[in-house]
Amino acid sequence: MRLGLIRTEERGAALTPLGICCIIYLMPANPADYRTRGGNLAIVLCCPNIVSPARLVYFDHNPAGSWVIRDFLAGFKLSDETSLLTVPDIEQDAIYSEPPPWCNVETSPGDWRLYLELRTTVYTEQRNRNVDVQHPTPQSGQWQPL
């Protein structure tokens, strides 16, 4: 069972004195957020146990089962070659997803870093760009430098 947060103002509920009130609800990676990138399916996720609950990552996979998580903020990647995780494992860990922008992950890593940094501040409701970039969870597998 996965838990996610949604702002209640989006549901029309009363707000706290701080202006925000959150409720917990079930939220998997949304299949509608996947986009095709060549022969792969790609998505932006928050995977709290595999990566970190405090940042977004780029995830793509192909029909053969090959996959890669690119954590542009920490500067690491994890793939089916260095981890025992499967695509369903990663999707089960996700508590948030959104469609990825059209941007080449190989030739534009700086653009991806900036995009995920800014989107993470929205997702975590931070008022600055100090995103948690500690190393991803080592129990997920052998993370490699990007």
Structural domain count, the chain = 1
Stretch 4-28: mean pLDDT, rounded? 42
> Kind and range of the H or E element at 90?
helix 87-93
The pLDDT of residue 134: 73
Q: Does residue 90 sit within a domain? A: yes
pTM, to two decimals: 0.79
Q: Which tens digit of pLDDT belongs to each residue from 58-91?
A: 999 999 999 999 999 999 999 999 999 999 999 9
- CA–CA dist 3, 130 (Å, integer): 24
pLDDT-derived band of residue 27, with 50, 70 and 90 as boundaries? Answer: low
Specify if 62 maps to a domain.
yes
Residue 10 lies in a domain: no
22 compared with 34, residue with greater pLDDT: 34
Decide if 102 is inside a domain.
yes
What residue numbers bound the domain in which 83 lies?
27-145
User: Is 18 inside any structural domain?
Assistant: no
Task: Say if CB 140 and CB 79 are below 8 A apart.
Answer: no
